């Protein structure tokens, strides 16, 4: 663990700031929680590889001063899988948005979870495609407005936690940008966990989602994450079962990790024991 004071500048490529996110975007808070988690874990920058695809969230890989790959849309987990298999000692972290994780990248997401490969997938859930103009996403839900749904959406949304659990992820958690310290502590556990870790962080997009759906400015949207969520098993659920639960839903330390199982296959093959 690292007891030295946290300095944001030690972990970012300062020449790329100011960042390109819209005013009020929650992605900067996610970045802050992630970097604080890495700092508190005492990880060297050379121990980490950050892989991302395309989207607002994916800009993170360009801002951090780690080994990083800014890859093609929806394929961040496949690139991270290749890195992890060739360099299993590295901490693989993959920040993703709605599309990268669960639309074009959805198939890769469920199979990375099924394999239980040691990658930390951070799904930044702002319920919209922000970079490409405010189209609705697999996380928008029904009855929401978007540029591609001016009369409201009719598509049901994925529940990231339920999907990750069903696909076999061995660490599954959820937090929000309002609960930045809680998110940091969850990310610390996810990064340390050996296996596929999924952390959903609900984050606001006031430019498109908030404006289209009359949810107010960034501060009002963040306050909504406070009032509309509660910790797992909270008594608040008795009064309002529709509250979204936050916390760690799965933490399975017994499930075999993919890279280790793959190494065993290589050892067997080298011995010639078919």
CATH topology of domain 10-271: Rossmann fold (3.40.50)
Q: Which two tokens stand for residue 158?
A: 């994925």
Cα 48 to chain center, whole Å?
A: 16
Residues 74-85 have a mean pLDDT of 95
Q: What is the pTM of this model?
A: 0.95
pLDDT exceeds 90 at position 259: yes
- Whether the CB-CB separation of 107 and 132 falls below 8 Å is answered with no
DSSP track, the chain = ---SPP-GGGSB-GGG-S--SPTT-THHHHHHHHHHHHHHHT--GGGEEEEE-SSTGGGHHHHBSSEEEE--TT-HHHHHHHHHHH-TTSEEEEEE-HHHHHSTTHHHHHHHHHHT-SEEEEEEE-SSBTTTTSB--TTS-TT--BTTBTT---PPPP-HHHHHHHHT-SEEEEEESTTHHHHHHHHHHHHHSSS-EEEEEE---IIIIIHHTT--SHHHHHHHHHHSEEETT-THHHH-TTSEEEEEEEE-SSSPPHHHHHHHHHHHHHHT--
Average pLDDT value over all residues in the chain? 94
Q: Residue 99: its pLDDT value, please?
A: 86
State residue 274's pLDDT score: 60
pLDDT at 131: 86
Domain boundaries, the chain: 10-271
Report the C-alpha gap between 271 and 177 in whole angstroms. 50
Note the pLDDT tens digit of each residue in 142-155: 999 999 999 999 99
Residue 90's pLDDT band (cuts 50, 70, 90): very high
């Amino acid at each position: 663990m690292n007891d030295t004071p946290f300095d944001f500048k030690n972990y970012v490529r300062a020449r790329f700031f100011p960042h390109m996110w819209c005013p009020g975007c929650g992605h900067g808070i996610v970045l802050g929680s992630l970097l604080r988690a890495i700092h508190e874990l005492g990880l060297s920058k050379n121990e980490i590889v950050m892989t991302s695809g395309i989207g607002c969230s994916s800009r993170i890989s360009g801002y951090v001063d780690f080994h990083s790959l800014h890859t093609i849309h929806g394929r961040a987990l496949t690139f991270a899988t290749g890195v992890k298999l060739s360099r299993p000692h590295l901490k693989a972290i993959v920040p993703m948005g709605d599309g990268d994780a669960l639309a074009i990248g959805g198939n890769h997401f469920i199979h990375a979870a099924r394999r239980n490969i040691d990658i930390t997938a951070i799904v930044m859930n702002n319920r919209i495609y922000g970079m490409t103009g405010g189209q609705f996403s697999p996380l928008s839900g029904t009855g929401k407005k978007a540029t591609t749904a001016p009369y409201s959406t009719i598509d049901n949304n994925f529940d990231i936690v339920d999907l990750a659990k069903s696909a076999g992820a061995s660490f599954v958690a959820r937090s929000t940008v309002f609960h930045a310290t809680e998110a940091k502590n969850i990310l610390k556990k996810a990064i340390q966990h050996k296996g596929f870790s999924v952390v959903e962080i609900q984050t606001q997009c006031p430019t498109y989602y908030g404006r289209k759906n009359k949810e107010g400015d960034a501060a009002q949207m963040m306050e909504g994450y406070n009032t509309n969520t509660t910790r797992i098993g909270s008594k608040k659920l008795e009064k309002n079962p529709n509250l979204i639960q936050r916390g760690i839903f799965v933490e399975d330390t017994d499930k075999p990790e993919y890279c280790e199982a793959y190494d065993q296959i290589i050892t067997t093959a080298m011995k010639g024991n078919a």
